Amino acid sequence: MYELLKPWLFRQDPETIHEHVMHGLAWLGQRGPALKLVQQLCTVQDERLEVRAFGLRFPNPIGLAAGFDKNAVAVRTWAALGFGHVEIGSVTALPQPGNPKPRLLRLPQDQALINRMGFNNEGAQAIAARLERLQQTFGRPQVPLGINLGKSKVTPLEEAPKDYLQSLSTLWPYGDYFVINVSSPNTPGLRALQDRDKLEELLAALTGFAQGRKPLLLKIAPDLSWEQIDEILALVEQYRLAGLIATNTTTARTGLTAPTDEPGGLSGKPLRARSLEVLRYLHTRLEGRLPIVSVGGIFSVEDLWERLLGGARLVQVYTGLVYEGPLMAKKLCRGLLERMEQAGIHSLEQLKPR
């Protein structure tokens, strides 16, 4: 069905159709019987797929990456579509409209997207209020909820720790884990927070608040050098973060069929090789001491299996969902079970990265 709809969908403006889809998913999340039917059709429930990471239990390793549901409007629906966790945001302390439109482009020939959204979101207070209403009405989400935090555009870099801390404290009751996003290419100067001194100041402030009560993860860019990654890893371990998310979108344009000078972060299949390379490097350096969430160019069960063998504990999808459609999580879960049977393993805990 999705393959039949996709040509029509792809003729629409990408951001406009995304907003329409999100409204539909939000509506569905409020309709109990319809949501239950979707869950029965789209969810693979099998204890062999369970994963434990940073103190949380995930029903399967496939999550929704940040950026798709920025304002937490469809939290309940994602679990019904088969995802093992959901990451909302990026959320900033202050509400902001983001960058001028158009700011989302499809590259169908490369199964890729370029986005320069600029952390458009309703702000931490509004999103906390929405999550509070959802929790009061329906209880906690069925799968772990991650909250991805970014810096407000108007906040100077030297005030970034205070800005992130404001978001973290406001949203603290609602997230199962929190992600420090210093790697988006679409907020001016944000990636400078990956520099050692600035990152250390930020991590000191946020871990001082969290004090190990809930997991804090760091999301890094794919465009870092190995030396930069090593510096970041030293700080991640020094401040005892719970894990890493690798990677965000890239500013590189390597591997595109049709070269483009459109600014923004590139995601999708052209990011696959670099994301996998960074994952393997992190796994080698960390030697299993911290869980890694792998993001970037995951479309198929082959991609998923490759990431798990490469050292990922969990994966996340975004662009793949745009191109593969709403049954993506179900397909990946079914395919993963087949791969596990072929490998003779009865749980993902038995899978040994190589």
Q: Which residues are catalytic?
A: 184
Report the C-alpha gap between 68 and 319 in whole angstroms: 9
Q: How far, in Å, CA of 267 to CA of 112, rounded?
A: 6
Of 231, 178, 219, 203, which Cα lies nearest the Cα of 55? 178
Tell me whether residue 136 is exposed, middle or buried, using C-beta atoms within 10 angstroms of its C-beta: 0 to 12, 13 to 18, 19 or more: exposed
Report how far residue 282's alpha carbon sits from residue 130's, in angstroms, rounded to the nearest whole number. Answer: 36
Q: Which amino acid is at 18?
A: H
Q: Extract the tokens encoding 9.
A: 């969908």
Structure tokens at 20: 């329409």
CB 264 within 8 Å of CB 229: no
The DSSP-derived string for 262-285 is --SEEEEGGGHHHHHHHHHHHHHH
- Helices 160-171/196-210 angle, 10° precision: 30
Residue whose tokens read 């191109």 = 323
For residue 204, give both structure tokens: 């000191």
Give me 165's structure tokens. 């801390």
Tell me how far apart the alpha carbons of residues 254 and 270 are, in angstroms, rounded to a whole number: 7
**Bridge partners of residue 243, in order along the sequence:** 217
Query: Residues for the chain: how many in total?
Result: 354
- Find tokens 């990677």 and name the residue: 247
- The three-state secondary structure class of 152 is coil
How many CB atoms within 10 Å of residue 254? 10
Q: What is the C-alpha to C-alpha distance for residues 105 and 333, in angstroms, rounded to an integer?
A: 29
Is beta strand 265-268 parallel, antiparallel or unpaired with respect to 292-295?
A: unpaired
